A and B are shown apart, each in its own frame.
Chain A
Amino acid sequence: MNYGFRLGDYSTNVIDPSDGMTFWAANEYIGNDGANDLWLTHITSFTAN
């Protein structure tokens, strides 16, 4: 597989201003079918504690 293209530039991780504790992260991923299941978006929240 030759990646002659941009793999994507955009992700983010930002603190929730309502509590100052919860991180919200968004990023891209590829599903189990790597040939067709391309560039899905995963959004999750987590804390450092």
Chain B
Amino acid sequence: MVRFYGWQRSGGNTLRVTMMTNYLSNAPTFTYTSLKVTQYKSATTANQPGGPGPITVFPNATTTQVHYRNGHLVTSMASGLGVDGFVYPKGLFYQISVAHKSPKLLKQIVVDPGQGVAVQMPSADEDAQGNLGLNWIESSNTEYLSVWVGSQSKKRSSATLAVGL
């Protein structure tokens, strides 16, 4: 059994998990499950000291990697949220249980350092105890692209983390 993780490139309010069975046969079976998440959409802007500038081709609203740990999928993407009109990308992190037949969204974490701060290139993994480790870069009118890391205990539920600046 192989499980994949999907997304909607231009935005949306679901994440799709694809389970493939019979993958060594001539007729593999794909089972899709859409999980509802907070609405996201491609963002348009990331600033740095020296002036604002639109992101013209940055492919946000996509994920670039997923880890499978402890029966969970852990993944992330940088995408806009409705809180600021989908202008600046924020760090979106997801933990999905695939231990049972139907995938279930366990946790979604938003890293939002504040108004006008763009979060990009997030990545995440899960340790042996189920805690999440987070990694991202952020920038604003007063901050060049900088590397940040954070973590969230297994005991905590979905949250918006106002970390950063």
A residues sitting closer than 8 Å to B (CB atoms) are: 1-15, 20-21, 23, 25-32, 34-35, 42, 44, 46-49
Q: How far is the CB of B89 from chain A (nearest CB, A)?
A: 10
Bound Cα distance A46, B48 (Å): 27
Identify the closest chain A residue to B57 (Cβ). Answer: A6
Contacts A27-B137, A29-B145 hold; do A1 and B125 have CB atoms under 8 A apart?
no
CB distance from A24 to the nearest CB of B (A): 9
Classify chain B's interface size. 35 or more
B96: interface (CB < 8 Å): no
Main secondary structure of the interface of A (DSSP, over half): loop
Q: Which of A3, A4, A34, A47 has the most CB of B within 10 A?
A: A3
A48-B156 Cα distance, complex, nearest whole Å: 12
**Closest partner residue, chain A, to B93 (CB atom):** A13
Tell me if B120 is interfacial: C-beta within 8 Å of chain A.
yes
CB distance from B66 to the nearest CB of A (A): 12
Q: Are B145 and A15 in contact (CB under 8 A)?
A: no
Q: Known contacts being A1-B51, A3-B58, A15-B127, is A48 close to B120, with CB within 8 Å?
A: no
Tell me if B121 and A8 are in contact (CB < 8 A).
yes
